[in-house]
Structure 1
Amino acid sequence: MDVLRENQEMCLPIFSFSHYFDNSTNVPVHTHPATELIYQAGGQCTVTIGKEKFLCTPGDLLVISPETAHNQISEGPVKTVFVTAVIDARLLSSRTRLIHFGNDPWTPRLMNMIQEMSREVRYELCGGVLYSLVRHIAQFERDQEFGTRNRIVTRAIKLIEANFNRPLNTKLIARSVGVSESYLRAVFLREKKISIFLFLQNYRMAHARRLLQQPYCDIKEVAFQCGYPDAGYFARQFKKIHLCSPTEFRFKLQTRPEFDLRL
């Protein structure tokens, strides 16, 4: 079995080429048959891909899909390291995008190692380091996505807690946290293991149960304070969950001390 076929079957990246620029070199429009990774180590440059322009500054990594025409215009002295490789989609998506690594130490270190090995024609060593680099990039993106999802869910929960007594819905919540409604639903379900609609419903019902412990707070007032449009709708929703009306629930609280409020 040849090396290329073995690498493909094992889902390993296949090294192609690596080099660097450390001056004001401008690169004309060109393509690569494999995925290109461009790391900006110093200075800045503009890479034009189709109608889109990417401004690369120190700590940025640009992923460019195979056979995608692009150029590079340097703005003053730069240090740019690039690697081309055939990368299996199971390891890393080849979708064109800019990843902001900031002060992450491993990306430039691994990129430089690959470049130095390539310069010394030690291609047999490039594969292992390239595999580490690709895994590191993929993990970095997963961590970023996880952090983004957590921030979205946290903001949505804080919004619900502060405004549960208003007629909230998932569309309004999504608009407030700056994402689409479908993305918010998917992220909330993935992170909290419950739909955002049920979370809002449960939060309102928990507050309603607390209010029903106050004998002088009538059902209409409870519905209003919990964000329901009217007492009838609130009563119907309450009965679906608790299998009794709000009035019956309050009666049980008064006559049965052992009645579980968590129901």
Structure 2
Amino acid sequence: MRTRRAPLKGDEPATYRWQPVPGELSVAAMPLGHAADVNGAHEAHSHDFPGLAYFWADGGIVRTGRQVRHVEAGDLFVIAPGDVMGQAQRDDLVGARGWGVFFTADALGTDTPGAHLAWRTHPLLFPFVRGGATGALRLKVPPRDRDEWTTRIEALHDELAHRREGYREAVSAHLVLLLVGVSRLAADVVGDLRENAEPLLAEVFDVIEQRYREPLSLREVAAAVRISPGHLTSTVRRRTGRTVQGWITERRMVQARRLLATTELPISDIARQAGFPDAGYFARTFGKLHGMSPSGWRSVNVL
């Protein structure tokens, strides 16, 4: 897993973005516990991708938003893009035992929309629709299910570590089953969110999903959801850690990566289908975000 710290905007917490690595799945699993290399220099921050933190043993604390939460066995923190995690201290997780799982929507398959908030077409992602300074959603895994959760995440970690034949399919399957578990635990919360909490964000990501293949600007998205561009910018950045234009570009990049990996279309055709009428601009944008050209990406990611 490789991330990049985005430039700071005023006094907002830092945002870390997932940096795609050629040939690797956008899924990471890592043990959580006491870490000598973590100290107060690890600033308050958010991610622009979703994650889970599951603990099977008591111990330590988790700092989310402005809250300090004592970790209990069975705790499951659902970390939405934009959720602010507090400044970490070295001894925060002394005694804790758990796993962190982070991913992007790409990992769920080629039919998953690029926007993590596109819950209308992939309901397993809906528990991650929230986000902001309020902190991660805290759920509780029942005692009877905790061994299964631990085994599932350990199996996911093992597949990612050893990359045996078929590991991509295995990783996707394990991740989907984890998200099914999250959705079931969060059923009441999700129902409330669906009805009340984020209608604006749902509209914004619907517009992006429907129109990313054509010219689309912040002003046009704002007009479609009937609010001012300034208000839209501040709301989306506060909730997700990324700008509207950033999400438009990300949706286009998801489509481009899929076409590069699964078709033999010329780069110019892929650029057009991903919403870039200028193939040169597409190549420069792709290279800036991925560290290599579209053809280079294709050479190491052909399915």
Higher relative contact order (Cα pairs below 8 Å, separated by 6+ residues): 2
Instruction: State the TM-score, normalized to the length of structure 1.
Output: 0.43
Instruction: State the TM-score, normalized to the length of structure 2.
Output: 0.38
